[in-house]
Amino acid sequence: MSDDASTTEADQPMLEDTAAEEPEQPIADSAHAAADEGGDDGDGNGMLGPIEIPSAGRMLVGIGGAAMVLATLFSWIESGPDSFPNVSGIGTSTFGVGLTVFLVGLALLVRAKSAAATLGMSLGAFAINLIFILIVGADAPSLGFGAWLGLAGCSVAVLGSLVSAYEQEEAPTLDVHPMAGALGAVLAVVASFWLDWTRSNYDIAPFSGVDTELKFGIPVLILGGIALVLLVDLLTVPRMVMEGRRQVLLMICQTAGIGIVVIAGSNVLAKMVLGHDYFGSAPIVALVGGIMLTRSIRQASNH
């Protein structure tokens, strides 16, 4: 019995030490669990959650949109000795071009859109901005800094939309109503050169869109012609055999339609907001054609 007692007394310190060490294990486990939870939240960001870094294309589109908005704060037409920054480019000095560039830039900043929509809006804004510079004169002393900044922003947005189209892994499947799309393209083409785009007064002959003094119908004619040719081609392409090529052609047609809407819409908006007395029918017809072309191309249903 003395051996048993000595053995029991000898083991008591060890048991007490073990009992004293036992509470440390849950503490350690909770620390590891907290560390694991922090890792799940995005490398310890806690309540902020994971930090999402935009793609290169989306970043370029955002930079371009910001430059387009910023460009309208400066003067596009300079006058007087103290002409910088002068008046906002949204006003009457740009006859609707600056206002459209401002609205498109805001649209590109506020929400991410499909590659075709982003490219079409950027191309349309680039076209009217470039036409404004050509009308005023690239070497004219009255041409302000805002016009060049807007053109640079549109160029960056176009580049970003092209990069976004290249980066996207899976594009939505598109379908088209070819007759409605072809009719819209025809309306845009006809409006660009045959109908009255604008007139100064009744004593002066009206301008067509391809007139060298106006030029707004030239990109409408190009985009509408491209869309019309591609839609005619789509009618002859086998639907199942050439599906990849079909999707590319539909994306180009959708881009052209949105570009036409931006270009024609800027002229319609200018005449409505600025209150011109003589309102040509061509911008309205081109706008309707661009809307018909855009609406004829939809995401295909799964049913």
pLDDT digits (tens, 9 = 90+) for 48-106: 455 556 688 889 999 999 999 999 999 898 876 655 666 788 877 788 899 999 999 99
Any idea what the Cα angle at residue 220 is, between residues 66 and 141, rounded to 5°? 55
pLDDT digits (tens, 9 = 90+) for 103-133: 999 999 988 788 899 999 999 999 999 999 9
- Do residues 71 and 89 touch, judged by C-beta distance below 8 A? yes
pLDDT of residue 214: 85
Half-sphere exposure of 18 (CA within 13 A, CB side): 5
249: three-class secondary structure by DSSP: helix
pLDDT of residue 51: 58
Residue 175 has φ and ψ, to the nearest 5°, of -135, 160
What is the share, in percent, of the chain residues with pLDDT greater than 90?
44
d(CA 2, CA 6): 6
Nearest alpha-carbon partner for 67 in 142, 140, 158, 136: 158
- Do residues 213 and 132 touch, judged by C-beta distance below 8 A? no
pLDDT of residue 234: 84
- Cis amide leading into 23 (omega within 30): no
pLDDT of residue 201: 59
Cβ–Cβ contacts within 10 Å for residue 141, how many?
8
**Mean pLDDT of all residues in 278-297:** 92
- Do residues 95 and 77 touch, judged by C-beta distance below 8 A? no
Lowest mean pLDDT among 42-46, 220-224, 243-247, 284-288: 42-46
How would you label 252-274 residue by residue, b for 16+ Cβ within 10 Å and e otherwise?
A: bbbbbbbbbbbbbbbbbbbbeee
Name which residue leads in pLDDT, 145 or 83: 145
DSSP string, 226-260: HHHHHHHHHHHS-TTTTHHHHHHHHHHHHHHHHHH
Statement: the pTM of the whole predicted model exceeds 0.95: no
Above 50 in pLDDT, residue 35? Answer: no
Lowest mean pLDDT among 9-13, 134-138, 143-147, 203-207: 9-13
pLDDT of residue 18: 47
**Mean pLDDT of all residues in 232-244:** 72
Lowest mean pLDDT among 105-109, 197-201, 242-246, 262-266: 197-201
d(CA 216, CA 100): 14
129: three-class secondary structure by DSSP: helix
CA 263 to chain CA centroid, nearest Å: 15
